[in-house]
Structure 1
Amino acid sequence: MHALRAARSEFSRAFLDLSVRQAPAASRSVVCRGASPFSSTVPFVAAPAPRLFHTSPYVASHGGAAQFRKTDYNDPSIPFKFTPENAEHAAAIVQKFPPQYKKGATIPLLHLAQRQNNGFCSISVMNYVAEYLEMPPMRVYEVATFYTMFNKEPIGKYFLQLCTTSPCVVCGADKVLDAIKSHLKIDVGETTPDGLFTLVEVECAAACTNAPVLAVNEDYYEDLTPEKTVKILDELRAGRIPPRGPQNGRKSAEPLGGQRVLKEIPYGPGHKCTL
């Protein structure tokens, strides 16, 4: 019995010594030294000091600042209201949601309002949508500042969004980007002095088969080369809208040489393949 008690005592001292060594230095003084490893009481070690969720600096997404700054072009006092036509669209959108969940229309209404406001999701636009949906303005701010498709700064008449994800880069998007920057004499994130063009890089445009891809406002120009891109820019500057879609002559996403499969009507039930 005495030998067992001695062994327990020795084990207890070793356990407490290990606990003290593993505890943070600032917490070692609060280890309960009277606790036994064989009792229901576990030695208490103070938790380390709480840390912030992150210590890296805030990085704002394209077109948005970490804090709202009132300017002459982005002032809550600047009026905004849906046009009669857009008001009808907005009402139709809201009707798709149950009355108690009409805040679900926040994104489509912000998109509609931004289109009316020349592609600029201003503070007045956000406040108007919040009032329209009877929501706290902060909830609308949270949505508008989360999604990069909402532009928190004014953009040009033609919003150039060049995909620079891997498939497009492999097909020459970097050369297309250099051609745009050189021809318009602007860098990514800038607008031409005449207010016609704003250039940004975007992630996958979901048209990898037709890479490289440039979205001009809501229209896709695909299968681009630097030369064809410059021609498109010149047409836009002249006030003409060039043909959208593939720029190499193919139809949609078909192979360059034309359709290669399903050239005939597929056989149906009760028929056999003749190939």
Structure 2
Amino acid sequence: MGGCAADGGCPSDYVAISISAVCLFLLLARSAFPFLFYKLSIPKGSAFWIPATQIVASFDLLASVVMSVNLIKIEKRHWWQSCYVWAVWVEGPFGFGLLLSCRILQVYQLYFIFVKKRLPPVRSRYFLPLVFLPWIAMAAFIHVQKPLNYRCQMTARWVIPVVSLHSLYVVILIGFTRSIHHVDFRFQELKDLWRGVLVSTFSVGFWVGAYILNEIHDDTEWLQVASRFLLALMTSIFVLAFFSLSSSQPLLSQISLRRRECVNALNSRQ
């Protein structure tokens, strides 16, 4: 195990890659099924780009884990194979960060539509970049400081703020979800949302543990292999559960209803 523990390519690594590939296939099938089976038209606006962004972020997160924790034994000869591309930029801002930001955006919209009974004060196209900005700042700072070693790992001094940012966004998501717990959703929306939050929180908890073990304990071979397998497994479960439990359908109908009410009110005044 000595060689594959450090360079990748252990049997458990390929099992983890296979699981990630299956989860990605299920994710794509889950997103395309309503349009292919029921012949639904492709939605417009945020109804399309928010789920599409989550799919891209899910793919980025899975790919970043495969590339950054040495699941595949490959020689890194090109710039796009750099640790800072996959472990910093793809995994952080354009993977986990973008995925959580999209879901926070959805719950933010639900909160204003169903609790405040009005449209959100900040439009989706502006709110998402604001939530996403801390991830860009963190990635840029890490890229400048360059704390990663040749195995794409950090010391404990860097792992703590990175894990804290991941955990903060999970806490924000839970907080927004709790703020709408009393709303009676017509489409069992809150139950689906809570299932997604609980499964995601559970997965993130294991993911953070595996991430810390993989980053810090690089001197124990079996722990390296086990931690990166668990990291890939929890990432696969996380992205599949996170996307499968959607929270967009009743939201879109309510937004359309609110907009029609606003238009009717303006017309009546005129």
TM-score range, shorter chain: under 0.3
Greater strand share, structure number = 1
TM-score (norm. length: structure 2): 0.26
Greater helix share, structure number = 2
Please say which structure displays the higher CA radius of gyration: 1
Q: Which has the higher contact order (CA 8 A, sep 6+)?
A: 2
